[in-house]
Copies of this chain bind each other. A is one copy, B any other.
Amino acid sequence: MLTVALPKGALLKESIRLFQAIGLDFSGFLDPANRQLQIVAPTGNAQALLVRTQDVPVYVEYGQAQLGIVGYDVLREKNPQVAHLLDLQFGRCRLSVAVKQASPYRCSLDLPPHSRVASKFVHCARAYFEQMDLPVEVVPLYGSVELGPLTGMSEAIVDLVSTGRTLKENGLVELEVLFESTARLIAHPLSYRLNRFGLHQPIEQIQALLSSPVP
């Protein structure tokens, strides 16, 4: 049976709406009482796994799911061996460098060499500063990265920004954007080549949806 890996969190609602639009209903995951992590569509021809957004590429890489939806940010950070098929246009945000509003820095290159930069996106942050030849120490954090500059642990952060509300509430200001991110459709490369479980069909349906004008 075709298996789809769906990301918990910010991308879930739109992901479910997308599959509903092509006849695959996984809306059971939106029921607050739901505890199941694996549900079969009522049509019986596909199932979905509900996993952490960082785990979506893992399930797809190992072929346990043939399709998955994940943020471009996760693809950039983890660089998984998956086929990157479509930009789904939702879940728009950006990975940005930010500092305290009160700091004298107005662009990334203003940061003093060997500054500390707190981030959940360790690889992206490292690659970015390396490419501008600015040596920094990346401090890996799992959450609430904005605490880094507030406590004085780091001069800057590299973090996802969507509305900018969290930055503002914490007196931080965005300096530069590393890249923009949106939700992406990914596939297990071998399954995609072999059209396993007829997976080309839902992919083409999603593609058609994306290219048709919004009603």
Contact = CB atoms under 8 A, between A and B. Distances in A.
A144 B59 contact: no
Nearest to A154: B62
A141 to B, nearest CB: 5
A139 interface: yes
Interface residues of A, number: 30
Interface in A2-37: 3, 8, 35, 37
A147 interface: yes
10 contacts: A37-B150, A49-B151, A51-B144, A52-B141, A55-B142, A55-B143, A58-B153, A62-B153, A64-B152, A64-B153
Interface of A: 3, 8, 35, 37-38, 49-52, 54-55, 58-59, 62, 64-65, 116, 139-144, 146-147, 150-153, 169
